[in-house]
Structure 1
Amino acid sequence: MDDTAGSSGWATPSTVQWCRWLLDSYRHWAGEELIERAGTPEVQAHRLFDAPFVVVSHGIEEDPILNYGNRRALDLWESTWEQLVTTPSRMTAEPVHQDERRRMLETARSCGFFSDYRGVRISLTGRRFRIEGACVWTVMDARAVRVGQAASFSQWTRL
């Protein structure tokens, strides 16, 4: 398995488990699979990491920290795995876009799923980009306890 850009963090047992919850939660809220679910949890985590669309997530801390980003997310946010998973989620949007981002996350938290989101984000190096058609969902553990939020999208434009 590839470790380019310091990205092997996706293969740890805790991240493989997180990927399972992320995928199970997406199926719960969206009524469909995000990726093909064949194979072991490790195979599915690898497939998610290499997916041709962005997947990113954070936990439920007071000021949530990003805890997952697939290869497309790392590329888009111009980040290594180690940098991404220590970044407060709010830092993915410029201050002027924070209120809009907070409202979207609250809607996704209260409804479980929010689709067709669009907004402006910023990479760790300061490059701005607009995302479109994003879906945001609540991540639940095996006991259906809320443990985070995730987003996925395949459309973005550098600004």
Structure 2
Amino acid sequence: MSTGMNPRGEEFADLLRRSHVATVGRPLAPEGLSRGELPVWLYVAPFALLAHEFSDDPVFVYANLQAQKLFEYDWDEFTGLPSRLSAGPEDRSARAALLQGVAENGFTDDYRGLRVARSGRQFWIEQVTVWNVPDTGGEPFGQAALIRRWQDA
């Protein structure tokens, strides 16, 4: 991970929290969580949370437990997986357009799109917020997605 941060650690969790509030204008986690409690809460949160870094072929650097269950990958399989593989081949251009729009505008809210699990099962992600995540120096690092709802296609 180019930030040098542990994606399961306090600094990365705080980066997600701060960037979400700054960009989207709403809290990502309950108020009052300590810096030490935040990574644990995000990892077991009732929503799916993913993050990928910027590169020519971005890879996931974070996937909480709900995202792992939804996409059917464990942590080691998910982190390092090209994020384009979260969508089927027929849906990748729409996904790429979404991410380009987020890169240009900062975030999008209430997105809905078709995704694919490791087994090939297709499902809809709904009420999704995708936002840009800067590194600790404020430079572009990647993007994160908060998925509030999902259902099989």
Give TM-score, length-normalised by structure 2.
Answer: 0.91
State how 1:1-159 maps to structure 2 within 5 Å.
14-15=6-7, 16=9, 17-159=11-153
Shift of 1:125: 1.8
Deviation readout 1:112-140 (Å, 9 max, x if unpaired): 11111111000112111011111100001
Q: Distance in 2 between matches of 1:144 and 1:27?
A: 14
Aligned pairs, number:
147
One-letter amino acid of the counterpart of residue 101, structure 1: R
One-letter amino acid of the counterpart of residue 128, structure 1: Q
Any unmatched runs of 5+ in structure 2? none
One-letter amino acid of the counterpart of residue 119, structure 2: T
Shift of 1:142: 2.5
Shift of 1:39: 4.0
One-letter amino acid of the counterpart of residue 26, structure 2: E
Q: Distance in 1 between matches of 2:71 and 2:138?
A: 30
Any unmatched runs of 5+ in structure 1? 1-12
One-letter amino acid of the counterpart of residue 75, structure 1: K
Please identify which structure carries the higher helix content: 1
- Residues 37 and 44 in structure 1, CA contact (< 8 A), matched pair in contact too: no
Give TM-score, length-normalised by structure 1.
Answer: 0.88
